[in-house]
Amino acid sequence: MLFHFCAATPPLFVLWIIMAQVAGQEDREKTTALKDLLSRIDLDELMKKDEPPFAFPKTLEEFEYAFNEYGQLRHIKTGEPFVFNAREDLHRWNQKRYEALGEIITQYVYELLEKKCNMTKETLPVDATEDEPTGFIYLSPDALSNPSKLLVLIQGSGVVRAGQWARRLIINQDLNSGTQIPFIERAMQEGYGVMVLNPNENYLEVEKSTKSPLPSPTETSDEPAEKRERKDDKEGKKKKEFYEKYRNPQRETETERIPIRENGSSEEHVLYVWDHFVSRAAAKNVFIMAHSYGGLSFVELMNQRESEVKNKVCAVALTDSAHNIWLQETTKSTQDWMQEHCRNWVSSPEPLDTTLEPMMPDCPRVSAEDRAALVVLQTTCHLPGLSLTSSPVATCHTSFT
């Protein structure tokens, strides 16, 4: 039968059939060989990457970095800027290293506020007990007693803490670009009291307890159920370990956050500081600078304390503000007040202070020219109605992220 088929079949067609059969056999052999190879690979060994432990230096000196005379972070030995990719192909470890350096930078800025700017730390809440989480703000010596002028600085969201605008700029550019120090020093020179808020210090982070939960009193004790539970637990543990091995080769400490009373968010923090500090300050004229989410928190303060803010605040400089008068349900009277007393410097290629199209009917928008933020402090402070265009006594430029 096969002979007759082959005799009647063109030779080229027969050759094609034979080649297809050979190719199919080769594919099956390759697949089998690949399966055999994979079965012999030790996945545990395969996943043992050379990721160092998450144990990083606690000081700049141990990191072998220091700020030079220009406020730039440089390597002590090479003089080179900070390098993020210290280890190739270990992005997670590099990120953890960067975050560890960031925590050291935070403490370094606190030292600058205290030693260079002569500011003091005030604990929040003001009536905190010894065993509850606390936050803090910084005050200049005359922040509460200055009878004339008070400048309040509110940063944006994220990892930045009191005295910082942007951690990335502190590390990659210089202290003048990423901290509030130039604003504070210039304001003090011009006779302002200064208050530095800390809206991202909202919680105490503690390690989670590793104790296993007690078995439920409602568990059934019949053997089949126990066998099923043990099997489910075993399978679940295997899946979790397998997943963790690929996603997280080096397990991190699990933590939980305990909120700081009445300061659990940026909005709560700004409101609390207003009630317990700004509203009680002797200054007849308060000036506020708020960056990014700090602008949203200020508008929320307006919503909560409208009449008080109008009576005490002369002018507000916003930079890339994240506020939204519609989503925040801001009143028409607040919007009108913002038109007269607020200005929002936003990222724009236009020259500095160029008037831009308004996005909302709240406050004028002007160019911050290449992400430079401008804060204007007035020479003559009046009650509501003061124009931000009057001659400034301090004009400070910096760049934000």
Per-residue pLDDT of 250-292, as tens digits, reads 666 778 899 999 999 999 999 999 999 999 999 999 999 999 9
Considering the chain, what is the average pLDDT of its residues?
A: 80
Q: Which of 140, 177, 265, 292 is labelled catalytic?
A: 292
Percent of residues, the chain, with pLDDT higher than 70: 69
Give per-residue pLDDT as tens, 95-113.
999 999 999 999 999 999 9
Does the predicted model carry a pTM greater than 0.85?
no
Other Cβ atoms less than 10 A from the Cβ of 257: the count is 12
Whole-number pLDDT of residue 35: 64
- Residue 328's region, left for phi above 0, alpha for psi from -120 to 50, else beta, is alpha
What's the pLDDT at 16? 59
b (16+ CB within 10 A) / e for 128-166 = eeeeebbbbbbbbebbbebeebbbbbbbbbeebbbbbbb
Question: Rounded to an integer, what distance in angstroms lies between the CA atom of residue 256 and that of residue 249?
Answer: 21
Is the pLDDT at 180 greater than 90? The verdict is yes
Query: Is residue 292 flagged as an active site residue?
Result: yes
The alpha carbon of 186 is separated from its chain's Cα centroid by a whole number of angstroms, namely 27
Are 304 and 276 in contact, with CB atoms under 8 Å apart? no
53-62, 185-194, 326-335 — which is least confidently predicted?
Answer: 53-62
pLDDT of residue 254: 79
pLDDT band at 348 (very low <50, low <70, confident <90, very high): confident
Q: Which of 1-15, 278-292, 335-349 ranks highest by mean pLDDT?
A: 278-292
Q: Are 361 and 344 in contact (CB under 8 A)?
A: no
Q: Note the pLDDT of residue 27.
A: 67
Residue with tokens 């030995």: 77
For the stretch 139-164, pLDDT in tens is 999 999 999 999 999 999 999 999 99
Q: Give the mean model confidence (pLDDT) for residues 231-238.
A: 62
pLDDT band for position 388 (cuts 50, 70, 90): very low
